[in-house]
Structure 1
Amino acid sequence: MNFTRVLGKSSVNAIRVQKANARMLGRAIGAQTSMAVRSYASEASSGQIRSVIVAQHLGENTVRTIAMDGTEGLVRGQKVVDTGAPITIPVGKEVLGRIINVIGEPIDERGPINTKAHRPIHAEAPEFVDQSPTPEILETGIKVVDLLAPYARGGKIGLFGGAGV
């Protein structure tokens, strides 16, 4: 069960809600929130979008979630609305060279990503035979990474760095 947007203001890949059932936000402690819900995704009525994913089912209509972005502005008893879709991020050639966060929003100050295709952040990994059989190196442009720990093209990677990297 995946939750998507909590709090409603549209952004690059916000899911628009036409008709939905209201739910109540139980509590928010740090990155954890508890909600009384019946389905997969949430969007609440406030000034910002919040994204959450389900970490644990606490009861028949209650789940514990983990916030994928900040929880500022969330209040107990706040109404949330079901969107019925998982968190998606933009994909395609338009994303190459861009920096995005985990919910697909650009953070490189180059404006919105204009792409037609979006995919869920939780998906099955491709079969081994479907992956590129020829070993190619993905050049990151970071000399120390390219020299000491090069990445193979065609797989999933995560690159974290501190200041000056």
Structure 2
Amino acid sequence: MADADPIKTMEEGGMRTWQWLAVAMTVALNALDGFDVLSISFAAPGIAKEWGVDQGILGWVLSMELLGMAIGSILLGGVADKYGRRPTILGCLVAMTIGMWFAGTAGSVNELLVWRLITGLGIGGMLAAINATAAEFSNARWRSVAMALMVIGYPIGGATGG
């Protein structure tokens, strides 16, 4: 058994509890992403009214996180491959937390734009890393189910926020 290939063992073996827990964590992280992306939609009318923001500026506020996600997924997906998924996921979680926290305390539209961009960078990197994580932690038989579960975390988070 000492000569057994660990990758082959995991691919061909049954899904263990710790593997399902790892997949569940990717679902939860994706739900957090879905909640945050859609939360600005719920807050937008209040932001527009309180700060007197017109539709054009509000469009930038709503889009800034998506721009950050695009940049983060492109830049940080490679970081996860090079330095590891766990440190990348944890770093992205820190960026998301900082961005979310300070977006809630922003005093101007410009501040909100910056914090939404930072949050988006974290989310983009997170999405790139958790896709591969869910696939790597599941065996061949359950991989498609694990990936489907990870993907449905996003709408679960959005619906929970709604």
Question: Given the two structures, how large is their TM-score scaled by the length of structure 2?
Answer: 0.21
Question: Given the two structures, how large is their TM-score scaled by the length of structure 1?
Answer: 0.21
Higher helix share: 2
Higher strand share: 1
Larger relative contact order (Cα-Cα within 8 Å, sequence gap ≥ 6): 2
